[in-house]
Amino acid sequence: MARFFLLFVSHCYCAFGLIAEYHPIETYDAIVVGAGVSGLSAANTLRNNGVKKVIVLEAGNRIGGRVWTTDTWGSNLELGASWIHGIENSPLFDVVRDMNLTIQPTIYKSGSLSTKLGSMALYDADGKPLSKEEIATLKEYAEKFEGYLDEINEKGRNHTLTYIDALNSFSAKNKFSKQMYDRLYYILRLLNTYEIAVDLQDMSVSVEELYKKTEASGTNGLIPLGYNLIPSKLAKHQSIELNCKVDKISYGDQIIECRTNKGVFKAKNCIVTVPLGVLKADAIAFSPPLPQEKLDVIEKIQVGVFDKIYLFFPKVFWDRHVEWIESIPKPDMRDQIYDIMNLAKYFKQPILLAFTAGSFAKEAEKWSDEKTVDSVMSLLKKIYGNDIPSPSSYMITRWGSDPLFYGSYSSPGLQADEETYATFAEPVMGRLFFAGEATSQTDCSTVLGAFTTGQRAANQLLTGMGIKPRIED
């Protein structure tokens, strides 16, 4: 989904990547801060254009950033990003194709969220299944609501009108019963909060206008051999210093200095690709301070939280042939939604993946592992009965709590628009560049956005060096 620390993962440890063969150089041509997909894409572009004196500084003990694959149970499971969001007109998918990686298409499709309802077992608060007709009605109203938002947005962007405001007026217009209102609220939260990672009241009705600017389209797909193969490919032949946390960047007319726990690194240029959450937390000091307009947009763009709970069972006891298993919560717990994906459908193992998002994800991150697993099991028992087996193993992510990320991915929220993201992407003094999904005007919140903005920042740097960037393969 859209669009994903020392990541808190229970009963799981996964460290992979390239340990740098670090040779001190007095002054580098470029320092890249962050070895996620964006940073590695930037470093790869620089190397492909003949710039050799480049070093990537990574605070964590692995490469990949918010791409993190584990094969703990014999399947390649993604703790971070899961999907390629559209395989047509996608430079990221070009890499996948060049690597001859197989894609597993899913029914879920980010460009048409309501298609998700086409492979869904949906239950009410008492565990009773909704009929196909009831689900079809919800799908119809969800699609009508999308059209209603289009009508609103044709009149121009409205920063203050939220999804809740629009739902209330849409509900009044259609004279919904309380039950229908609650069900549509659930569906809209399921389709939107679990895509953009912030609550409906924190989401502008114009938010989708930004996501529509992407050129990528078509099938959404998983990478069965592991998403981590992409950053691993980008990292080849790069100088990467792991466990090297940058806490201050001093930039001037000639030299940029990055202060780290391993000393000071100097370069003529610097590309900053750390997650937006890190910048919001002021985990890196800038000297002189960043321009006020840059600080303003960092404040405007929100950071969403989107977490995963993997459960491994002795056997499959759930709806085998659907992609999604959902349960509408009681009205007093309407935001506590587990978006459950049936991974047995694709991985041929008895695995369920429960997503949390928005304020509920933030709340759940404070829970113990036992409480988290018990909470999901309580929902499953309501649907399938008390005799279902307990999971034999589990994995839980807590992206929002991790000081290397402080969140899963950026969200436009109520204030950000294309211009906001563009301002974030602008270089400072022609030597300090910014990349990452939160700087993408067309593909924020996605690995595609991270990948292409890394290339963009590198090309800006190359132009400043007087090098004409060659077209990426």
Higher-pLDDT residue of 232 and 2 is 232
Position 25 pLDDT exceeds 70: no
* pLDDT on residue 13: 33
| DSSP assignment string, 187-254 | HHIIIIIHHHSS-GGGSBTTHHHHHTT---BS-EEE-TT-TTHHHHHHTTT--EESS--EEEEEE-SS
* pLDDT on residue 111: 73
* pLDDT on residue 158: 67
Position 24 pLDDT exceeds 50: yes
Q: pLDDT tens-digit profile of 79-107? A: 999 999 999 999 999 999 999 999 999 99
* pLDDT on residue 208: 79
Mean pLDDT of 42-46: 98
| Beta carbons within 10 angstroms of residue 147's beta carbon | 9
Q: Report the amino acid identity of residue 410.
A: S
Q: Which of 8-17, 254-263, 356-365 has the lowest mean pLDDT?
A: 8-17
* pLDDT on residue 6: 33
* pLDDT on residue 160: 78
CB 262 within 8 A of CB 244: yes
Mean pLDDT of 50-69: 97
CB 38 within 8 A of CB 193: no
Which residue is listed with tokens 């993190």? 68
Residue boundaries of the structural domains of the chain: 28-66+225-301+411-464, 113-121+132-211
Alpha-carbon dihedral angle through residues 473, 268, 443, 160, given to the nearest 10 degrees: -170
Q: pLDDT tens-digit profile of 407-448? A: 999 999 898 888 999 999 999 999 999 999 999 999 999 999
C-alpha 249/C-alpha 2 separation (Å) is 31
CATH no., domain 28-66+225-301+411-464: 3.50.50.60
Mean pLDDT of 106-121: 87
pTM score of the predicted model: 0.93
Higher-pLDDT residue of 13 and 173 is 173
* pLDDT on residue 118: 87
Mean pLDDT of 217-238: 96
* pLDDT on residue 14: 36
How sure is the predictor about 154, in pLDDT bands with cuts at 50, 70 and 90? Answer: confident
* pLDDT on residue 8: 39
Q: pLDDT tens-digit profile of 284-303? A: 999 999 999 999 999 999 99
CB 212 within 8 A of CB 18: no
* pLDDT on residue 448: 97
* pLDDT on residue 209: 79
Q: pLDDT tens-digit profile of 353-395? A: 999 999 999 999 999 999 999 999 999 999 999 999 999 999 9
Q: Which of 7-16, 61-70, 250-259, 353-362 has the lowest mean pLDDT?
A: 7-16
Mean pLDDT of 189-195: 93
Higher-pLDDT residue of 12 and 457 is 457
Of 7-16, 46-55, 102-111, 145-154, give the range with the top mean pLDDT. 46-55
- Mean pLDDT score of the chain, rounded to an integer? 92
